[in-house]
Amino acid sequence: MWEVLETAQAVAEKSLHVMLDKQAIINFARKLDKEKVVIPSWNTFYHFDGKKEETIAYLLVLDSINFCFWPSPGNPKWEIEYQSKKLSGYFALAASLKKALESGTPFTNAQYLAELSFTEFKKILGGKGDLQLLESRVRSLNELGQMLMREYHGKAYALVEASAQSALQLARLLADKLASFQDSAEYQGKKAFFYKRAQLFAADLYGALEGKGWGFFHDIVLLTAFADYKLPQVLRHIGVLRYEKSLAQKVDHYTLLEAGSPEEVEIRANTIWAVELIRQELLVRGKNLKAMEIDWILWNLGQHDYYRTHPYHRTLTVFY
């Protein structure tokens, strides 16, 4: 069994702070089935779409620094202007990298990444407001560039080829070779794996390349949900996730949860397992969706104010 799903289930079954509501899972699956919700398609407005070799390198850069978009207390969120639109969060990151690449910034070049400075990186991003963990993002890109040069002749597509068309193996490769992708934690003396951004890279390749060529993975259906802070916010809103009182108060009052703490691990593990249970319930109803497709649906719902009744949990981490 895929270690991410296996350990998520183990944590969910032992959780003390987060509970799953099985009836809410059934209700949500019924809603998805009845309303015939459309799976979001790959969006080339925000994402670079060019030569496949460059697209792969772009996505690897994007997913290497795709974390922590909320500002520190009292500061405005980071925003950019792109084609007369104000963007923030993930969309701002995707668009700022796309804009930089199209204007000639060679950040798909491994040597450039290995030597990228903090000052240069800030210029690439641009925009206004507070984007936390900038230094960590630069270190992640330096590490990525060095690894690609050392092991894959500087080519991101060669890393993808090394996975032998296995999405799970690609995620494991990233976690094995790059510290910034080693997304795991300890829970009650045992390891729990998440591999959020590593799995997301495989899913993004699949989406951007339409499941063909370097975007084809024979085990793409085994990817889990990508445990971040937006999905549990939506799952809590629809009643699938329930927090015990002290955790609910912490989340609702923007109290930081320490990375790797039992509460934070439980939120992430239950998010993954909840999506798996939704997937299974949909399958019973004759609707065969991948866990990652349910993830995309939930994440897009989370962009609407209706699903933001409660805030998302705050954890300062490079993993999501």
Distant-in-sequence, close-in-space partners of 195: CB < 8 Å, separation ≥ 6: 4, 171, 172, 174, 175, 181, 183, 184
DSSP string, 242-297: EE-HHHHHHHHTTPBPPTT-HHHHHHHHHHHHHHHHHHHHHHHTT----HHHHHHH
DSSP string, 6-70: HHHHHHHHH-SSEEE-HHHHHHHHHHHHHHTPPPPPP-TTTS--S-HHHHHHHHHHHHHS----S
The one catalytic residue in 63, 228, 295, 305 is: 228
The full length of the chain comes to 320
Between CA 192 and CA 188 the distance in angstroms is 10
Q: Is 252 a catalytic residue?
A: no
Q: Which of 168, 315, 167, 288 has its CA nearest to residue 230? A: 315
CB atoms within 10 A of CB 43: 12
Between CA 9 and CA 62 the distance in angstroms is 29
Instruction: Tell me which residues are annotated as active site.
Output: 228
